[in-house]
Structure 1
Amino acid sequence: MSAAEITEAYAAFHEKVAGFVATGDWSGYADLFTPDAVYVEHAMGTFTGRDEIRDWAVRTMTSYPGRMMPGFPISWQVVDADQGRLVCEVVNPMPDPGDGTMLAEPNITIMTYAGDGLFSREEDVYNPLRFHTMAQRWARIAAEHGNADEDVLAWLDRWGGSGGAAPSRAAQRADLARPRSDGMPDRTSSDVDAARSDAMRRAAGAALPEAPQGGGR
């Protein structure tokens, strides 16, 4: 196979994905893969075969936050024809929630081409905490502007609590500068960094069950 063939196959793949986005019907997504294909989604798990890929895609892309993404533009891509692979950066944007804010997060997608226009493997690599934070921020703004429907509000109620995001470093540094009034030793920068890392781990764990997938679509 040639680089041109792989590039053309992925362009056709991407065009069909645009159709799924437009119609909201993702049942045909798995048919872009071979029957024994493997889909590796670093936050959500590994799916083997068309049935598992189809169930995951339909479930994820027809509920918040996946269903709110209006497209998956590609920033760049490279092809390794000898290995039959295409690697690209996919942008996962969200629409204006009501105040003009534009939110997007990227992921790296690794596609393995099997020939005949089908792919045998996809792997999406991204930071689930960043995706969760984006979905959380979008839902809060949309709710403030009356643009959040029931599943967005339900997601926000479950995953949008203040405990879901780590405090900013600036806020932690300000807290560090304040004298202790409880008789305990003053906090150090190491204490702040440790607390922040712990908060980020907790937030990432909370995000995983409902995290939007990276878009190799």
Structure 2
Amino acid sequence: MTTFPREEIEAAFAEFRRRGVETHDWAGWADMFTEDALYEEHNLGVFRGREAIKSWIVECMADYPTMTLWIEWYAIEGNRVSFYIWNNLPDPTGTGRRFGFPNTTFLEYAGNGLFSFEGDYYNPADAGRVFMEWLGAGGNRETPQDRSLKGIEGWSPAVPEGEYSREEIEREFEIYRQRGVTAVATGDWNQWADQFTEDAQYREHHYGYFNGQQEIRDWINGVMQPFPTMEFPVSYKVIDGNRVSALIPNILPAPDGDDGYYGFDVNSILHYAGNGKWSYEEDVYSPAEAGAVVKRWLAAGGVIPS
């Protein structure tokens, strides 16, 4: 597979941002996908082909004329782009209230200024809650946009500033992955929690926010009890300084005699703090999709330990 020059991908992504984030030219934005592109929106559906993407995005965004978008960060590795974007609604009360939620995205660049894949990850319950709160506060289609809106203060910590080599971060991420494999094989999630700093923070887009290694340890030991055989293979990762953004499907093994796929995608974001420790993790995904997967798995014969 051809790996395109970073400068070419940067230029295409700048135009992608201009058409979408900056000007809301959604038809023109959709034209930046290949004719056979795949778009996985993990709440609203899967769209195959440029025309299907265009039809959906133009209709969808017409319902949100007051929404503005802000990209907090992006990273490029190979032909892949990973970015973190805020969906913001203007404060109808004039009191400084915030109505916004983030999602993460992976793009795959295919050359000639076009992208062949996009995947969006977020909790649709957060989106629905924010929108209903906004309507309750008086928001409507005539509320003026506020392009000064960015992210929510304190949402995530800054990436550590230490200078660590890419080789070290590659090595430690592989250890992170192996700790997950070990936890599944042995049931020992304590060794997985050991890799976080004592003051680490963890944002899980369904279960909440955990402060400190001990809270992370208590949560992971509890949440994994019903799913001791769930696996976490890494599809791919993007490393940018001390930040790692990885797509890590959470997969339940098919019951005996069944060859179905029982997995859901999670975008995990990690901050490396040195000495083999991570100071932050954020898991971005659709809990509704996860719940549907578990329901299908149980119906096919999957068993939760008593």
Structure 1 length as normaliser, TM-score?
0.62
Q: CA deviation at 1:93?
A: 1.2
What letter corresponds to residue 148 of structure 1 in structure 2?
Answer: V
How does 1:13-92 map onto structure 2 within 5 Å? 13-63=176-226, 66-69=227-230, 71-81=231-241, 84-92=242-250
1:96 alignment partner, one of 247, 254, 262:
254
Quote the Cα distance in structure 1 between the aligned partners of 2:305 and 2:194.
31
Q: CA deviation at 1:60?
A: 0.8
What letter corresponds to residue 228 of structure 2 in structure 1?
Answer: R
The answer to whether the Cα contact below 8 Å between 1:30 and 1:50 also exists between their aligned partners in 2 is yes
Q: Which has the higher contact order (CA 8 A, sep 6+)?
A: 1
The answer to whether the Cα contact below 8 Å between 1:7 and 1:86 also exists between their aligned partners in 2 is no
Structure 1 runs not aligned, ≥5 long: 152-217
Quote the Cα distance in structure 2 between the aligned partners of 1:28 and 1:36.
17
Question: For the structure 1 residues 43 and 149, does the alpha-carbon distance in structure 2 shift closer, same or farther, using more than 3 Å as the test?
Answer: closer
Q: CA deviation at 1:13?
A: 1.5
Quote the Cα distance in structure 1 between the aligned partners of 2:303 and 2:168.
42
1:109 matched to which residue of 2? 268
Question: For the structure 1 residues 43 and 7, does the alpha-carbon distance in structure 2 shift closer, same or farther, using more than 3 Å as the test?
Answer: same
How does 1:177-196 map onto structure 2 within 5 Å? none
Structure in which a larger fraction of residues adopt strand: 2
1:148 matched to which residue of 2? 303
1:189 matched to which residue of 2? none
Q: CA deviation at 1:45?
A: 0.3
The answer to whether the Cα contact below 8 Å between 1:77 and 1:86 also exists between their aligned partners in 2 is yes
- 1:105-140 per-residue CA deviation (whole Å, 9 max, x = no partner) reads 111010000000100000000000000000011011
Structure 2 length as normaliser, TM-score?
0.45
The answer to whether the Cα contact below 8 Å between 1:34 and 1:118 also exists between their aligned partners in 2 is yes
Structure in which a larger fraction of residues adopt helix: 1
3-state DSSP of counterpart to 2:268: strand
3-state DSSP of counterpart to 1:28: helix
Q: CA deviation at 1:29?
A: 2.0
Quote the Cα distance in structure 2 between the aligned partners of 1:35 and 1:51.
8
**Identity of paired residues, percent?**
37
The answer to whether the Cα contact below 8 Å between 1:60 and 1:67 also exists between their aligned partners in 2 is no
Quote the Cα distance in structure 1 between the aligned partners of 2:169 and 2:250.
22
3-state DSSP of counterpart to 2:199: strand
